[in-house]
Amino acid sequence: MAEGHRERLKKRFLKEGLSNFEDYQALELLLFYAIPRKDTSPIARALIKRFGSFSAVLDAPVEELQKVEGMGEASAVYLHLLPAMANYYMNDLCRYKKQITSTKEAGDYLKPQFIGKTNEMVYLLCLDSGGRILYGDFVNEGTVELASLPLRSIVEIVLRVGASSVILAHNHPRGFALPSREDIASTHALQQSLHCLGIRLLDHLIVAENDYVSLSESNQLLSL
């Protein structure tokens, strides 16, 4: 029973990622690899109950983690190691981060992000002053025909990562790589908001299948 549950949870992660997991389920999945022959669900639930959240568990001292029934030194060290590993990963990534210096490079980087996406989605790329990538991820998902630009979320991310410039992209899953009036209007609104903060919106790419249109190259950005 326990082994079957483990396999189902692993397969669910491989299929869906962690976005629909409860905190205790994500923690339970991690504990599979530290506690191989025990039901980790009660332990994960007890950890969440004691510390309050997934992140609080990972940030807890090893000595405190060991006070939870079922947690030994090895499993406590394993959980405590994860935030340090995540930080190590991010620092390593930054040492080798990709540089975007042209519309073609932006298109080559962004087009693959939309492979398999059946709804309109908005992708945010934040760059430093040398064009190196500080952040890249989807910031909104809409319907087959519409995805709005989440201006507030974008501004918060841009300020958090300390970006000097921004490139946006969104897809038209069932249309052509041509901007709508709404696309242009919302792009201008974001461009003005970022300009007030001293941050440049370099481009907004509209992606459809293996094609894209650059609002910058088609002179549809504001001259600020």
∠ Cα 40 43 48 (to 5°): 125
Question: Which 8-state DSSP code applies to residue 114?
Answer: G
CA count, 13 A, side-chain hemisphere, 85: 7
Residues of the domain holding 141: 103-214
Both 138 and 44 in one domain: the answer is: no
**Is the pLDDT assigned to residue 88 strictly greater than 70?**
yes
pLDDT at 131: 93
The domain boundary, picked from 71, 95, 119, lies at: 95
In sequence order, the β-bridge partners of residue 143 are: none
- State the chain's mean pLDDT as an integer: 87
Domains contained in the chain, number: 2
Is 197 found in the same domain as 107? yes
Confidence of residue 16 (pLDDT cuts 50, 70, 90): confident
pLDDT exceeds 80 at position 3: no
